[in-house]
Structure 1
Amino acid sequence: MARQGWSALAWPKVSLRSDIFCLSGLARALATLGLGLGATLGPLPALGQSRNADPALEALIPDSAIDNPQAWARDTDAAHTTVPDVSTLISPDPLPALPPMPGITLEWPDKADLPVIEPLSPDPDIADAQEQAKAAGVALETDDSAQGLRIANATLVHVANQVELAFPPDVTLPDRDAIVARFKGLSALATLKDDEDNLAQLTRRAKSDADLLQQILRVYGYYDPDVIQTIERPTTTPVAAGTAGAATGAGATPAKAETAEEARARRQASLAKAVVRFDVQPGPQYRFAHIALGDIQAASDAQDLRAAFHLNVGDPINSDKILTEKDSLNKEMGERGYAFATVGEPDLVIDHEPRTGDLNLPVTTGGKYRFGHVNSNLPAYLSSRHLERIARFRPGDMYQRSDMDDLREGILATSLVSTATVKAREVTPPTNGQPGVVDVDVDLTKAPQRTLAGLIGYSSGEGARLEGSWEHRNFFPPEGMIRFRGVLGTQEQLAGFTFRRNNFHERDQVLTADLYAQTIQVRAYDANTLSATASLEKQSTLIFQKPWTYSFGIQLIGTQETTSTTPRTTYFIAALPLRGAYDASDNLLDPTKGWRLSLRVSPELSTTDGTKSSYVKTQIDASVYQHISSRVILAARTRLGAIVGTQVDNIAPSRRFYAGGGASVRGYSYQRVGPLDATGEPTGGRSLTEFSLEARVKTGLFGGAVGLVPFVDAGTVGTNATPTLSGMRLGAGLGLRYQTNFGPIRIDVGTPINPRPGDSRLGVYIALGQAF
């Protein structure tokens, strides 16, 4: 049964007579396998096979193979073939040498002499890094060895999160604050980020900072410093299985072994608490033993030039001061007439034995000069004569380098050139102790001369305003500008023409002629006006903010005006407007300290329906600016006005005083402060009183560009000529300032404190520049 069962399991008919195993060689191999088994079990007839198979399969595996597989396997050609002895096939003689191949001259490898390959030596940088990392690892794990190297009772200065400097308590170090500040700004450890905390980073940066600290000390004259770098980190012990927390034993749960990630996190947390300390023994400070300044001693004003170089023998050596005083000396020579003076690079030789240094600063004065003439390379565009007007020097004046720089800035301020190069050229050399003469050659490159501009504004009292202009800044050379402008607004329409000559006869003096036609509808009046004005003005500019400015001119006006209670009336007005101002503030557009005072006086003659009236209109403005802290500036303004000489009814409504609006009492509509007529509209007056107080607070947002401005304004208008406080209106609010390179953009939102019926509850004002 066992044999039959094995045969039935191992040799099924489906396996032997299937398409998969229909190969005679495989069939004979299986028969041979049967032979091997028969040696142990005897012949095994395949009792499970059928003898009625397909004829093709019967030819491949006949019934005799089924009856006696072993005999069928022996009766083959392969079984009757004798297997040869493998050893007889191997020749005892070596293989004959191959004949040489034509064209190939290289020897075979077994005959070539190959060079001996030397083993690579370790890279010294890698070896050093490995030693440093190993030493740093020891220092990180224990601080015992470092304790003996540290300064006892040292004065510690915290530089960064993981960096400290230690100084001897008994050593006076005058430059300590400067050394610490510079080290903090340049320290590599101070910029170490949390995601970079690893041993390699900490070690490399600590070594770099130690070298940096020694370099900084040498800048301040400490050429024998001793800087000891140590790293201290709290040690943490990894927790092994069965040793954490409670005692092990019956009922105790063994602690979980620390994973690689947990170990890394533990090391990172420990490393984050590491403190790198630099103990600094500065040593003695070296001093100057000798200072040589080229040929200065041969100059006529050698003593004054030497006084401009504020370093002397015996002073502590300081590399920063050497460079500073080099620039100071160079500037002083440029201001004393030395047009071609040169100052070379300083050469400092340190002697460690006496702890001194010798400084050699190569200086060549080149002699003194006076100014000659200014020469333009574009005389038809900006003539040499006109450039001499822009210059603040005259022929014969002693040469000053600052005057050359100012001339270049003044030329660029005309907006007519894109580049300007100003150079001194020797005309007459110095002789017999007398200064020579230099002409100033100006090389100009033209800039675009035409400008198309637009301006959009809005305020709750004056509505929207769109202004456009086209100008040609050099239509009548030099600097003869013409401009056409127009205004479209909800309350104003204007068309105008302006001629202006900048730098007229002298620097920053402007001649202006203006003609315009205007239609304006405001709360106080409606007016159709034609005006012609000519004026001469001394301006204050961003390049040169002058303390004193002035203007005077003549104005001819023809206007038809009406109010809510009066019919349209025609006025012919002639005025002589005068203005003088003194500016002691620190900035033209955004003052932070100082004060300003201005006075306007305009004598006027008015004719209405054959009735003549004369009066004088006067206005005084004063403002003051004071720092309260580094972030807060307090600003205050007062404005007083008076019209003396006639009654208010004889004065054209457009020439009266009004208050209210973004440049007056914020929170109220334009012209809304003051006396009102029967319909509730402003009538204007003969006197004006205004006060403003605001705090300009820097927020630090957007790099300090954004500021907040809480403010309080007050004002009133009177019918008499004397300014009064009667009927004072108060407004308050908050403003936003955004600083740009051309001044602050202003947005103010105000509300009336004591409004009258009809006053709006909110006023919004947008403009460029501060309110005052």
Structure 2
Amino acid sequence: MARRALGTCLAVAAIAASHPVLAQDIGSAPSLDELIPDSAVENPDEWAQQGADGAASEGEVAEPDTDSPISDIPGIPVAWPEDIEIPALEPLEPEGDIRFADLLEDAPRIAFDEADLEEISNTLVLGFPQKEPPFTQRGDFVDRFEALSTIEELDDGDENVAQLAARASEDEELLRTLLRVYGYYDGEVIRTIGTRDAGEDAAEQRPRVRFDVIPGPRYTYGAIDLGELAAAPDAEELRAAFGIQSGDYLQSDTIVDERFDLDRALGETGYAFAEIDEPELLIDHQRVEGDLTLPVRPNGKYVFGDVLSSDETFLSGRHLASIARFEPGDTYQRSLEFDLRRAITATGLVSTVAVEAREVAPPQGDEPGVVAMDVTLERAKLRTISGAIGYGSEEGIRVQAAWEHRNLFPPEGALRLRGILGTREQLAGVTFRKNNFGGRDKVLTVDAYASSIDTTAYDARTVALTGTYERTSTLLFQKPLAWGVGAEILATDERNRIVDGVARPRQTYFVGSVFGRATIDTSDSLLDPTRGFRVTGFLAPETSRTQGEQYYYLRNRVDAAYYQSVGERTVLAARLAFAGIQGADLIGIAPSRRLYAGGGGSVRGYGYQAIGPKNEFMEPIGGRSLVEASFEARIGTGFFDGAVSVVPFFDLGSVSTSTTPDFGEIKMGAGVGLRYATGFGPIRVDVGVPLNPEPEDSPVAVYVSLGQAF
């Protein structure tokens, strides 16, 4: 209603202003109250409706209201001057950078002439005009900014004004934040707009943003308050773990890192219940310093007590204590608590596990308290059935199956039944395995089997019993030294191939052996090493009885491998192996225990056991000495986010009937392979060709397996 009355008043006032009489005789003009009827003031809506109803209908001329004070308005004719000409408007030429005028409207359009420039991209430049004091963190500062910049993410040629306007504002705030991270709390960032040429045509100019960074003085740490840390028994050592001192240059990254180091030091020196609150930094601009407060509560020092299990009949506390890397009375270490949890998970017997320190006795004076390690676990499914079906050009069809109960004899006593049915191999076996027997990662294995194997080199029907006790290297804890000892007895009925031109009938061997092996490993991975070396030695004194003769001999082997990264994506790998059998003639050694070369883990390009001395029917007869060497380059391609590698390789090998290699015949193979990296190791596909084949050798061989060749 108020809006309508106001409109009526403005219309009447406009008419009055255009009336010549009113314009000449302002003093005699009626007032505004006289022009507006009382009915319009009392009820504007009704008065407006009356005006609409009384309007002239279409096609009629309304009679003037003679009672109105402005009913008789004379016309005012105005002649257009004929001598006035209005010139046509000339089109304006666009200025070169006018299209960027709305980019960062609040940014000053200045730049420092004497500034060191860092060109981040075609659309982004950083300037550093400050000379004193020098900006010593400039390198890290630029790297961080480049990694986080939103402008730098724009592809060349794809930028536009709208994108740059939004992203430049974000980048300016990022620069200010980074300055504060490095302790420059008085720093300034000045934005400047410019253009860059994208070609000879000026219309192809592209926008360019420049930030001039003026760090100013760098702040230092003032007072440092670490709460109750001084009350700890070994406060000095703990204070040394927090590597920030008053007067050091201030950097928030350092606070985070040193807080982590202090927390780790507390957890590794007995403080099982230590607490550290969030740090607080108070900046004083007058002193150019920041006072740091880090509330620390050590809450007493402790030693390990007993390990207690929530399921004693399944995995007892005594057994869990045997796989822990601590003894009762040892100073508490948080890392050993985590390690125990990982070791329990690695047994494969639990679905979930939690390990928690619980106070048993509080600290008394200088005497530490005691914590018990409470282990809460839930059983996993313990029975497994597995199987596989395959076909190979050399071994034909192969079907294998196994059933296993992983805790039939608690704790961690597994029973496994396995069988193989194939063209060249048949086997039935039973295995008892006791994990973590006598200590962490120590395994006792007893294996009994009966098998029949028919290869190109020999045909053996064997019954064997083997026992081993070993300290294994696992994916969870790769050890620098792994070892194993064992014993084996077997009876094998084998058909010798023709030896020295004489056809040999089937022959039975009774073999007894003790053996030991050790591995020194400095590599960085079991399945996919990129640096370091491995050396494995094997030694097995054996005795063999056949056809009333007793033979004694020594089987031995040494394998060494070296790995070296070259650049970011390439690993060079080399392997050398030597094996020998000393003390008995070839005829006194069962064919299945002689030395052979060839295959995916030996000399690629040749068939399994295809390298070595042969009889007149070109059948391998085995030897008493062996030498192998392999070289390959594992080159990353970047495909599938770097998961695929190309691996050219070269292998060679020689087998001799003498106890020392005579290198009478050296076989060489070469080829190329692919590796696809997975979460559990690389999948390997190698295609090799023999470089100096025999007539019976295939022209190409393909090998597929999990893990690298060596």
Counterpart of 2:78 in structure 1 is none
**Gap change, CA 1:724 and 1:369, over 3 Å in 2:** farther
- Opposite residue 475 of structure 1, the aligned amino acid is L
Which one is further off, 563-572 or 213-222?
563-572
Equivalent of 1:202 in 164, 171, 180: 164
Q: Kindly state the Cα deviation for residue 401 of structure 1 after the two structures are TM-superposed.
A: 0.5
Q: CA RMSD in A?
A: 2.5
2:313 matches 1:380: yes
Counterpart of 2:274? 341
Asked if 1 retains the 8 angstrom alpha-carbon contact of 2:685 and 2:705, the reply is yes
Following the alignment from structure 1 to structure 2, what is the Cα–Cα distance between the partners of residues 329 and 138? 55
CA contact (8 A) 1:142 1:233 kept: no
Q: Is the 8 A contact 2:654 2:666 kept in 1?
A: yes
Q: Report what 2:207 is aligned to.
A: 274
Task: Tell me whether 1:220 sits opposite 2:182 in the alignment.
Answer: yes
Pairing 1:643–2:643 present: no
Counterpart position of 2:36: none
Does structure 2 retain, via aligned residues, the 8 Å contact 1:596–1:622? yes
Note the residue ranges of structure 2 that are not aligned, 5 or more in a row: 1-42, 48-96, 499-503
Which of 101, 104, 117 aligns to 1:156? It is: 117
The whole-number CA distance in structure 2 between the counterparts of 1:504 and 1:191 is 56
Structure having the higher helix fraction is: 1
Q: 2: distance between equivalents of 1:235 and 1:593? A: 48
The yes-or-no answer on 1:166 pairing with 2:104 is no
Conserved? CA contact 2:103–2:164, under 8 Å? no
CA distance in 2, matches of 1:359, 1:151: 36
Contact 1:347 1:360 in 2 (8 A): yes
Which of 397, 401, 404 pairs up with 1:468? Answer: 401
Alignment of 1:243-262 (within 5 A): none
Q: CA deviation at 1:464?
A: 5.3
Confirm or deny that 1:355 pairs with 2:288. yes
Find 1:691's aligned residue among 607, 626, 629: 629
In structure 2, give the amino acid aligned to 1:221. G
Could you tell me how far 1:671 is from its partner in structure 2? 1.1
Quote how far apart the aligned CAs of 1:185 are. Answer: 2.5
Report deviation, 1:387. Answer: 0.5
Question: Runs of 5+ in structure 1 lacking a partner?
Answer: 1-106, 112-135, 240-265
**Does structure 1 residue 178 correspond to structure 2 residue 116?**
no
Contact 1:689 1:724 in 2 (8 A): no
- Change in Cα spacing, 1:322 to 1:182, as seen in structure 2 (3 Å) is same
- Between the aligned partners of 1:673 and 1:682, the Cα distance in structure 2 is 7
Question: Are positions 1:592 and 2:533 aligned together?
Answer: no
- Tell me how far apart the structure 2 counterparts of residues 692 and 142 of structure 1 sit (CA, whole Å): 62
Conservation of the 8 A alpha-carbon contact between 1:459 and 1:765: no
Confirm or deny that 1:418 pairs with 2:341: no
Query: What amino acid is the match of 1:679?
Result: F
Q: Distance in 2 between matches of 1:764 and 1:698?
A: 21
CA distance 1:464–1:348, shift in 2 (3 Å): farther
Query: Displacement of 1:500 after TM fit?
Result: 0.4
1:577 alignment partner, SS class: strand
Equivalent in the alignment of 2:594: 656
Matching residue's letter, 1:179: F
Shift of 1:710: 1.0
Instruction: Pick one of 383, 390, 395 that aligns with 2:328.
Output: 395
Residue of structure 2 in register with 1:191 after alignment:
153
Give the Å deviation of 1:623: 1.1
Residue 564 of structure 1 corresponds to which residue in structure 2? 497
Match of 1:123 in 2: none
**Structure 2 counterpart SS, 1:337:** coil
Q: 1:353 to 1:764 in 2, by over 3 A?
A: same
Which of 551, 562, 566 is matched with 1:628 structurally? 566
Once the two structures are overlaid, the 10-residue window that deviates more, 575-584 or 681-690, is: 575-584
Matches within 5 A, 1:102-113: none
Contact persistence 1:636–1:691 (CA under 8 A): yes
Q: Distance in 1 between matches of 2:416 and 2:113?
A: 78
1:323 is matched with 256
| Residue aligning to 2:663 | 725
Q: What is the rounded CA distance, in whole Å, between the counterparts of 1:740 and 1:603 in structure 2? A: 40
Determine helix, strand or coil for the equivalent of 2:525. coil
Q: Distance in 2 between matches of 1:689 and 1:653?
A: 19
Cα 1:689/1:732, change in 2 over 3 Å: same
Is the 1:141–1:235 Cα contact (8 Å) retained in structure 2? no
Secondary structure of the structure 2 residue equivalent to 1:576: strand
Q: Specify the code of the residue in structure 1 equivalent to 2:191.
A: Q
Q: Could you say which residue in structure 1 is the equivalent of 2:246? A: 313
How far apart, CA to CA, are the structure 2 residues paired with 1:640 and 1:193?
56
Aligned to 1:233: 195
Give the match's secondary structure for 1:328. Answer: helix
- SS of the aligned residue for 1:671 comes to coil
Aligned to 1:713: 651
Q: What secondary structure sits across from 1:305 in the alignment?
A: helix
Secondary structure of 1:340's aligned partner: coil
Matches within 5 A, 1:88-103: none
Q: How does 1:130-149 map to 2 (within 5 A)?
A: 140=101, 149=110
Change (3 A) 1:455 1:293: farther
Match of 1:549 among 468, 479, 482: 482
Q: Residue 30 of structure 1 corresponds to which residue in structure 2?
A: none
Tell me the TM-score normalised to structure 2 length: 0.82
Cα distance in 1, alignment partners of residues 176 and 397 from structure 2: 65
Indicate the larger mover: 697-706 or 752-761: 752-761
Change (3 A) 1:431 1:144: closer
Deviation at 1:205, TM superposition (A): 1.6
Partner of 1:665, secondary structure, is: coil
1:222-267 per-residue CA deviation (whole Å, 9 max, x = no partner) reads: 111111112213699xx9xxxxxxxxxxxxxxxxxxxxxxxxxx98
Q: Which amino acid aligns with 1:300?
A: P
Per-residue CA deviations over 1:674-721 (Å, capped at 9, x if unaligned) read: 100111000001111111111111111111111111111111111111
CA distance in 2, matches of 1:347, 1:179: 23
Greater shift, 503-512 or 194-203, is seen at 194-203
Query: Take 2:172 and 2:156, find their aligned partners in 1: how far apart are those partners?
Result: 21
TM-score, normalised to structure 1's length?
A: 0.76
Equivalent AA in structure 1 for residue 484 of structure 2: S
1:624 CA drift (Å): 1.1
Displacement of 1:635: 1.0
Asked whether the equivalents of residues 449 and 464 of structure 2 are also in contact (C-alpha less than 8 Å), the reply is yes
Pair 1:142–1:747, CA change in 2 (3 A):
closer
* 2:441 corresponds to which of 504, 508, 512: 508
Greater alpha carbon shift after TM alignment, 704-713 vs 443-452: 443-452
Q: Which moved more, 1:206-215 or 1:161-170?
A: 161-170
DSSP-derived class of the 1:683 partner: coil
Question: Match of 2:511?
Answer: 573
Q: Structure 1 counterpart of 2:329, which letter?
A: G
CA distance in 1, matches of 2:307, 2:481: 27
Question: Which residue pairs with 1:85 in the alignment?
Answer: none
User: What amino acid is aligned across from residue 334 of structure 1 in structure 2?
Assistant: G
Are the equivalent residues in 2 in contact too, given 1:460–1:764 (CA < 8 A)? no
Residues 418-466 of structure 1: CA deviation (Å, up to 9, x unaligned): 2211110001111121111100001112222122223456665445544
Kindly indicate whether residue 226 of structure 2 is the aligned counterpart of residue 293 of structure 1.
yes
- In the superposition, relative to structure 1, how do residues 230 and 668 fare at CA in structure 2: closer, same or farther (>3 Å)? same
What does residue 601 of structure 1 align with? Answer: 539
Determine if contact 1:139/1:230 at 8 Å carries over to the other structure.
no
Q: State the 1:722 CA deviation.
A: 1.4
Other structure's SS at 2:601 match: coil
Matched to 2:610, the amino acid is: R
**How far apart, in 2, do the equivalents of 1:165 and 1:513 lie?**
70
Structure 2 partner of 1:536:
469
Cα-to-partner distance string for 1:138-174 (whole Å, 9 max, x where unaligned): 8548999989731223222122341111112625222
Equivalences for residues 111-122 of structure 1 within 5 A: none
**Aligned counterpart, 1:750:** 688
Q: How far does residue 109 in structure 1 lie from its aligned partner after superposition?
A: 7.8
Give CA deviations for 1:335-386 in whole Å, capped at 9, x if unaligned.
1111111111000000111211000001011111110000110111111111
One-letter amino acid matched to 1:395:
P
- AA aligned opposite 2:625: S
